């Protein structure tokens, strides 16, 4: 039977199926009210891991979650990410993981989330212009000061993870990964071997479902998206999917996926889906 909880860093227990807050509109108006309702409903449904980032609305997403959920329920983990700042360039953002920049973003996150300590702080991207030891050293100092509980990484390779682990204890890795997108399979394997939480973002890849996925969904009386999430939970005990949505109905559908149990035969059939639809 699939385990339902995981201890991040070996001591912080969360339910494995989390919630990604990126898609929650944080601007004024009816959409914001819906976002508040979605965040609150996630906690009502038993979600104990919510993921946000400085980049999501440049702090507005963090403020939204605090408005919706503070004071936080016991056992609720709100993880955030730093290391990306707004830019005038075409992408609208750039790397900035210089120690002073990271410290400033962490201080801002503490204020916005209304907490004294961020239990899981993730480096959103490694800054190619700043030595890795300086980036992670700054996070380690914040950890030593009690402002950060555990350190995580995002979008890293196996080699980058290994280098980072020589500098700090890495509690989590957040990479893109799904049934249809397994580019980071080696990173997942490294995390599993080390007992590191692996938080796949974009856990339900876009594109038309395959006939095999549709068939398994029909057998289970579930949606293809639910089966995709169930496959992730079945894939490894260190996998903590963080599907995101701005709709309560979709949220409830996602959370219900934690109750699905794949048979060995179904798992084997899904394992055989190893590329995005339409790809060679």
CA atoms of 73 and 85, how far apart (whole Å):
30
pLDDT tens, residue by residue, 4-21: 999 999 999 999 999 999
pLDDT tens, residue by residue, 35-64: 999 999 999 999 999 999 999 999 999 999
Are the CB atoms for 121 and 150 separated by under 8 Å? yes
Q: Note whether residue 170 is domain-resident.
A: yes
C-alpha angle with apex 114: 84 to 105, nearest 5 degrees? 20
Q: For residue 94, what pLDDT band results from cuts at 50, 70 and 90?
A: very high
Is 56 in the active site? yes
Q: Which residues, at least 6 apart from 30, have a Cβ–Cβ distance to it below 8 Å?
A: none
Q: Note whether residue 2 is domain-resident.
A: no
Q: Note whether residue 276 is domain-resident.
A: no
**Domain with 16 in it:** 12-271
- Strand 77-82 and strand 49-51: the pairing is parallel
Domain of 52: which CATH number? 3.20.20.100
Alpha helices in the chain (DSSP H): 30-44, 60-69, 99-113, 132-144, 158-165, 185-194, 211-220, 224-235, 248-256, 264-271
- Given 19, 56, 177, 198, the catalytic residue: 56
Q: Note whether residue 7 is domain-resident.
A: no
Residue in the block written with tokens 């990479």: 175
Q: Note whether residue 110 is domain-resident.
A: yes
Share of the chain above pLDDT 90, in %: 91
Q: Note whether residue 3 is domain-resident.
A: no
Q: Note whether residue 116 is domain-resident.
A: yes
Residue 241 has pLDDT above 50, yes or no: yes
Q: Note whether residue 27 is domain-resident.
A: yes
| Average pLDDT score over the chain | 95
Please compute the mean of the pLDDT values over residues 79-94 and round it to a whole number: 93
Predicted local distance difference test score (pLDDT) of residue 277? 46
pLDDT tens, residue by residue, 200-215: 999 996 656 689 999 9
Domains in the chain: how many in total? 1
CA atoms of 150 and 222, how far apart (whole Å):
35
């Amino acid at each position: 039977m699939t385990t339902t909880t995981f201890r991040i860093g070996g001591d912080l227990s969360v339910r494995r199926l989390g919630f990604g807050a990126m898609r929650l509109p944080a601007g004024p108006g009816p959409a914001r009210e819906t976002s508040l309702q979605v965040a609150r409903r996630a906690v009502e449904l038993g979600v104990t891991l919510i993921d946000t980032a400085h980049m999501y609305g440049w702090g507005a997403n963090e403020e939204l979650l605090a408005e919706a959920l503070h004071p936080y329920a016991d056992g609720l983990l709100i993880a955030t990410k730093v290391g990306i700042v707004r830019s005038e360039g075409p992408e609208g953002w750039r790397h900035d993981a210089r120690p002073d920049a990271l410290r400033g973003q962490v201080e801002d996150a503490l204020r916005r989330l209304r907490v004294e300590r961020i239990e899981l702080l993730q480096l959103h991207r490694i800054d190619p212009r700043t030595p890795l030891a300086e980036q992670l050293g700054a996070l380690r100092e914040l950890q030593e000061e009690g402002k950060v509980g555990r350190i995580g990484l995002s979008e890293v390779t196996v080699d980058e993870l290994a280098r980072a682990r020589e500098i700090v204890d890495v509690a989590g890795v957040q990479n893109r990964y799904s049934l249809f997108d397994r580019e980071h399979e080696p990173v997942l394997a490294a995390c599993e071997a080390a007992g590191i939480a692996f938080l796949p973002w974009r856990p339900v890849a876009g594109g038309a479902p395959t006939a095999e996925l549709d068939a398994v969904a029909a057998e289970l009386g579930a949606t293809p998206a639910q089966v995709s999430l169930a496959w992730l939970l079945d894939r490894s005990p260190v996998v903590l999917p963080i599907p995101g949505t701005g709709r309560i109905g979709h949220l409830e559908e996602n959370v219900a996926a934690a109750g699905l149990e794949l048979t060995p035969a179904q798992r084997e059939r899904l394992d055989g889906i190893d590329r995005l639809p339409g790809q060679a």
